[in-house]
């Protein structure tokens, strides 16, 4: 009984939905598997209510409330798709598309029906769309929330002329680019930077038509207070903020960040035997998806760096020469056997795993016979 009190029931598109008190209409719909188009909504961020794509009709409520900020109440009756709702969504979207590359978005070759051919980066564009404006060259292609919304609304033509004036791309950050030509001003990056990291490096600046996401003083990202964590990139729904490395992994492996003692959980994205992408794991109590600059961008390159040691080396008269494992291991074993226990010592490592530290201290104590084993914990 007590549990029931915290639950509310409502009806969305004729479907009965039960959710916890405090949920929004959008969350209730998601829980029931009903799609409502959104762009500024992000489950990691506070509700914002900026894009107006999530408008719905609610019986006994005036106007068209937005689902992402309206709390669900008991007995509510919600319609997610009506002519009035669709008209508002269409208008909001068209205004937005007047400032975003849109030719591909409404092209039938982007998402062809059966029998038609799909556009690829090497195809000649039939509509003479500039290469920088094409969906197939955008890093977000096929995982773009704007594409999802267009497909949902079935938009195939635009009534407003497009503003094609280009602004320069900010490529100053070594790990990601900021192409404002693709920005839809949903402010998810701004809110991620502020709510998740608290850095506040970027904000919505200027009004109306000149509105843009900018750093303090409109400087390049590298010259700003940005800490390069990439949380803004992760939360961008389109391809405006995107990693410089645009390849997509073939598979992912969950592991623990090798840098600091926080121990963030992450997925390494692998392609051709290399780590090419890293994302935070959301389902754990340590970092809940978040990563700092070292974890997100500072791993792949050192792991397969050309300066990695790839063979045992033995010092012969001041020169390092390559040796086989058997030669090197025999030499180490033979030479260590010559010393007694107070002449030897072992330095273990706080960068190595528990298992390796365990085995090394066991080796030190049980084989070398010495308790002289320590690591750089104190440093």
Partner 1 sequence: MAGLVTTFGSGAMTNSIGDIGDARCILIIGTNTTEAHPVIGWEIRKAARRGTRLIVANPRWIQLVREADLWLQHRPGTDVALLMGMCRVIVEEGLLDADFVAERCENFDAFKNSLEGFDLDFVERTTGVPRGQIVEAARMYAGNSPAAIFYAMGITQHSHGTDNVMATANLAMLTGNVGQPGSGVNPLRGQNNVQGACDVGALPNVYPGYQPVADPAIKDKFEQAWACSLSAQPGLTITEIFDAAYRGQIKALYVMGENPVLSEPEAKHAEEALQKLELLVVQDVFLTETARLADVILPGVTFAEKDGTFTNTERRVQLVRQAIEPVGNSKPDWWIIGQIAQRMGGKGFDLTGPSAIMDEIAQLTPAYGGISYRRLEEGGLQWPCPTEEHPGTPRLHTMLFSRGKGHFVPLEYRPPAELADDDYPLILTTGRSLFHFHTGTMSRKVRGLNVFQNEELVEMNPKDAAILGIADGDMVRVVSRRGAVVARACLTDASPAGMVFMTFHFAESPTNQLTNPALDPVAKIPEYKVTAVRIEKNGQMVAMTER
Chain contacts with ligand SF4 (rule: CB under 6 A): 192-193, 197, 199, 201-202, 226-232, 257, 259-260, 262-264, 287, 291-292, 294-295
Name which of 13 and 203 has its Cβ closer to ligand SF4. Answer: 203
371 binds, among partner 1, ligand SF4, ligand FES, none (CB under 5 to 8 A by kind): partner 1
Nearer to ligand SF4, 45 or 77 (CB): 45
Q: Is 299 in the site for partner 1 (CB under 8 A)?
A: yes
The interface partner of residue 50, options being ligand SF4, partner 1, ligand FES, none and the CB cut-off 5 to 8 Å by kind, is: ligand FES
Minimum distance, C-beta of residue 352 to ligand SF4, in the bound complex (Å): 16
Residue 38 contact partner, candidates ligand FES, partner 1, ligand SF4, none, CB within 5 to 8 A by sort of partner = ligand FES
| Phi-psi category of residue 369: left, alpha or beta, with phi > 0 → left and psi -120 to 50 → alpha | left
The C-alpha atoms of residue 146 and residue 138 are separated, in whole angstroms, by 12
Shortest spacing between CB 37 and ligand FES, in angstroms:
8
Beta bridge partners of 66: 55
**Cα separation of 314 and 327, whole Å?**
9
What is the closest distance, in whole angstroms, from the C-beta atom of residue 203 to partner 1 in the complex? 16
Interaction with partner 1 in 318-337: which residues (CB under 8 A)? 320, 325, 328-333, 335-337
Q: Up-side HSE of residue 192: CA atoms within 13 Å toward CB?
A: 27
87 near partner 1, rule: CB under 8 A: no
38, 26 Cβ separation under 8 angstroms: yes
What Rg do the C-alpha atoms of the chain give, in angstroms? 28
Cα distances from 111 to residues 97, 115, 145, 154, 282, in angstroms, run 18, 11, 14, 11, 30
Q: Which residue in 8, 28, 29, 38 binds ligand FES (CB under 6 A)?
A: 38
Classify burial at 190, counting beta carbons within 10 Å of its beta carbon; exposed 0-12, middle 13-18, buried 19 or more: buried
**Nearest to residue 328, comparing CAs of 308, 311, 349?**
311
Residue among 129, 128, 140, 131 at smallest CA distance from 102: 129
The footprint of ligand FES on residues 44-83 (CB under 6 A) is 49-54, 66, 68
Query: Is 197 among the residues that bind partner 1 (CB under 8 A)?
Result: yes
Contacting positions for ligand FES (CB under 6 A):
38-41, 49-54, 66, 68
């Amino acid at each position: 009984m007590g549990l029931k009190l915290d639950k509310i029931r409502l009806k969305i598109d004729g479907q009965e939905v039960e959710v916890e008190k405090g949920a929004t209409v959008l969350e209730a719909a998601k829980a029931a598997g009903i799609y409502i188009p959104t762009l500024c909504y992000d489950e990691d961020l506070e509700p914002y209510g900026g894009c107006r794509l999530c408008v719905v009709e609610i019986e006994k409520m005036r106007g068209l409330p937005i689902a992402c900020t309206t709390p669900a109440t008991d007995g509510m009756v919600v319609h997610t798709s009506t002519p009035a709702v669709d008209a508002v969504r269409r208008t909001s979207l068209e205004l937005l598309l007047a400032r975003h590359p849109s030719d591909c978005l409404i092209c039938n070759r982007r998402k062809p029906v059966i029998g038609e051919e799909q556009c690829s980066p090497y195809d000649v564009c039939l509509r003479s769309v500039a290469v920088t404006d094409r969906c197939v060259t955008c890093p977000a292609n096929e995982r773009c929330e704007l594409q999802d919304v267009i497909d949902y609304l079935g938009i195939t033509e635009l009534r407003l002329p497009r503003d094609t004036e280009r602004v320069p791309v900010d490529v100053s950050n070594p790990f990601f680019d900021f192409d404002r030509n693709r920005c839809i001003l949903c402010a998810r990056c701004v809110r991620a930077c502020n709510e998740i990291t608290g850095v506040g490096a970027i904000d919505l600046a200027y009004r109306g038509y000149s509105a843009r996401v900018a750093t303090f003083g409109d400087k390049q990202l590298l010259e700003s207070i940005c800490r390069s964590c990439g949380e803004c990139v992760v939360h961008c729904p389109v391809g405006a903020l995107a990693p410089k490395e645009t390849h997509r992994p073939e598979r992912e492996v969950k592991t623990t960040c090798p840098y600091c003692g926080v121990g963030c959980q992450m997925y390494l994205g692998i392609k051709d035997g290399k780590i090419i992408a890293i994302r935070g794991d959301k389902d754990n109590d340590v970092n809940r998806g978040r990563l700092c600059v070292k974890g997100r961008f500072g791993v792949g390159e050192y792991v397969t760096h050309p300066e990695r040691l790839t063979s045992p080396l033995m010092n012969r008269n001041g020169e390092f020469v390559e040796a086989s494992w058997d030669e090197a291991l025999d030499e180490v074993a033979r030479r260590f056997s010559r010393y007694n226990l107070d002449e030897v010592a072992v330095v273990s490592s706080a960068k190595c795993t528990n298992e390796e530290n365990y085995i090394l201290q066991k080796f030190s104590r049980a084989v070398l016979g010495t308790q002289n084993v320590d690591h750089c914990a104190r440093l």
